[in-house]
Amino acid sequence: MPPPDLNLAVPENMPSATGAPPVIEAEPFDSSAFKSDMVKEEYELLRRDHRQLIKMGESYGSFDPLGKIAFLDQLERIEERWDIFFGRLGLIGALSPEYKEQSAAFLQAMGLSPGEFRRLLRRAHDQMRLDAEDERSQR
């Protein structure tokens, strides 16, 4: 039995540990985003590069320290490219309202704001980089 003074109530803003966050099913951009062949091409290239990086990351644990650092560098470049792409399409009003709503709901279900999510992601990548640097210095 838990101590009698232990409060077992879950705070209202605490994400559920029993359920998964809502799924993001909406496309991020509306059709107006792809009127230009150049935008379509950039989007497909970015998606391809991102998919290839994800596939490569499946073997991250087997990379040597320099390979891990190079992978993290590539990951940062992909993030920057997405940020720029989303920013440009946001400026022309081509972001899907459904995507924005679903993304906000997803993050809210995890108890995170967009800024907190980005900071958490940055901390994780920084820790991975530190671990790779430590591994490198021990060789």
Specify the higher pLDDT residue, 14 or 76. Answer: 76
pLDDT tens, 13-22? 555 555 677 8
pLDDT at 6: 59
pLDDT at 16: 53
pLDDT tens, 81-135? 999 999 999 999 999 999 999 999 999 999 999 999 999 999 999 999 999 999 9
Domain residue spans of the chain: 36-137
* 16-40 per-residue burial string, b: 16 or more CB within 10 A, e: under 16: eeeeeeeebeeebbbeebeeeeebe
Which pLDDT band holds residue 3 (cuts at 50, 70, 90)?
A: low
* 88 phi/psi in degrees, rounded to 5: -65, -45
**pTM, entire model:** 0.79
